[in-house]
Amino acid sequence: MKRSALIVVGLIAISVFLLSAGTIITQPQSKFPEKEIAIALRNVGHRLLLHAGDSTSRVLPVKQLTEGTYRLEFKSAFAFVPDSLVSIVQQSLEATPVPLNYTVNVLECNTEVIVYGFQIGNDEQTTLVPCLGREQPEGCYVVVLSFLQPAPEKKTYLFALALVSLVVTGFVGWAYSKNKNILTQAPTFIIGKYEFYVDQRKLTFEKTTVELSDKETQLLQLFAQHINQPVAREVLMKEVWHDNGVLISRSLDVFVSRLRKKLKDDSAIQILNVHGMGYKLIINS
């Protein structure tokens, strides 16, 4: 008993640990590699100016507005094509260890009005790239890049292990409880050397346990209530099958034969066919 209880407690502890570990590990990483992002954004600015035909103007230092949001400013005005902007940003960020989930907005310097924007996500449903091919006129622009919070990394194997542990814990507890009930609960009937547990649909003979089907249990219960007394076929069919048809009558004979086999270890027990009436369970003294 003590050993089974310790096993159950141990499995519960393991399950709690795995669930806690899975929760900790799957928390999203909130820190962004600022240096790599700054280099990538300066590369974006440099290539935008080159694409606009300007190889001398400066790209101003990258500013971090909030965690995951960065602002890129330019010394001089320039024109840009959305197609080129999208391609340049993607290529520059692919060379850095940052998640490719972000939005880019191009603002007019003086009014802070958004003149163009797009979003890159994990799939087509979260990727929005409008108005390609329409060149934006020369002007003073600011590029603001905001990273979307990365989805938690799913360590599904930890949750699977935790789930398995919980299932095993439940099974061990159920098996322990069931075996304990078998040991402590009194049998419903004593049939010769057999102990008959109706609720559990089981026969025990010394250290052997014999499983019974539902109808076998009902049939044996009727016999056990009328030991050494004949029970009519009509009564057996009505109580067990609630019918008295020909097919049910044949089923009765089949189930009686099965019960004989399951009671064979005690030679004192017999289920006799009472001609013209039914069956009788007898126990020879």
Predicted confidence (pLDDT) per residue in 49-73, tens digit: 998 888 899 999 999 888 889 999 9
Neighbours of 183 (CB within 10 A): 7
22-31, 97-106, 113-122, 233-242: least confident range: 22-31
CA end-to-end span of the chain:
38
Residue 203 resides in a domain: yes
Q: b/e string for 60-87 if b means 16 or more Cβ within 10 A?
A: eebeeeeebebbbbbeeebebbbeebbe
pLDDT at 229 over 90: yes
Q: Judge if 158 and 114 occupy the same domain.
A: no
Q: Judge if 228 and 127 occupy the same domain.
A: no
Q: Judge if 106 and 78 occupy the same domain.
A: yes
Q: Judge if 271 and 227 occupy the same domain.
A: yes
Q: Judge if 190 and 270 occupy the same domain.
A: yes
pLDDT at 4 over 80: no
Residue 87 resides in a domain: yes
Specify the pLDDT at position 252: 87
Q: Judge if 39 and 127 occupy the same domain.
A: yes
Specify the pLDDT at position 21: 56
100 vs 142 pLDDT, higher one:
142
Q: Which of 116, 147, 178 is the last residue of a domain?
A: 147
Q: 222: Cβ–Cβ under 8 A, 6 or more apart, which residues?
A: 231, 235, 236, 239, 240
Q: Judge if 47 and 20 occupy the same domain.
A: no
Please compute the mean of the pLDDT values over residues 37-58 and round it to a whole number.
89
Please compute the mean of the pLDDT values over residues 158-172 and round it to a whole number.
63
**Which tens digits make up the pLDDT trace of 171-185?**
666 665 665 554 456
Residue 177 resides in a domain: no
Please tell me whether the overall predicted TM-score, pTM, comes out greater than 0.75 for this model: no
Q: Judge if 197 and 245 occupy the same domain.
A: yes
Q: Judge if 140 and 223 occupy the same domain.
A: no
Specify the pLDDT at position 152: 47
Specify the pLDDT at position 268: 92
Q: Judge if 10 and 52 occupy the same domain.
A: no
What whole-number distance in Å separates Cα of residue 175 and Cα of residue 170? 8
Q: Judge if 112 and 83 occupy the same domain.
A: yes
Specify the pLDDT at position 151: 45
Q: How confident is the model at residue 143 (pLDDT cuts 50, 70, 90)?
A: very high
50-54, 73-77, 185-189: least confident range: 185-189
Residue 178 resides in a domain: no
Q: Judge if 142 and 236 occupy the same domain.
A: no
What whole-number distance in Å separates Cα of residue 176 and Cα of residue 173? 5
Q: How many domains does the chain have?
A: 3
Q: 219: Cβ–Cβ under 8 A, 6 or more apart, which residues?
A: 236, 240, 252, 255, 256, 259
Q: 240: Cβ–Cβ under 8 A, 6 or more apart, which residues?
A: 215, 218, 219, 222, 252, 255
* Structural domain that includes position 115: 34-147
Tell me the residue type at 140.
Answer: C
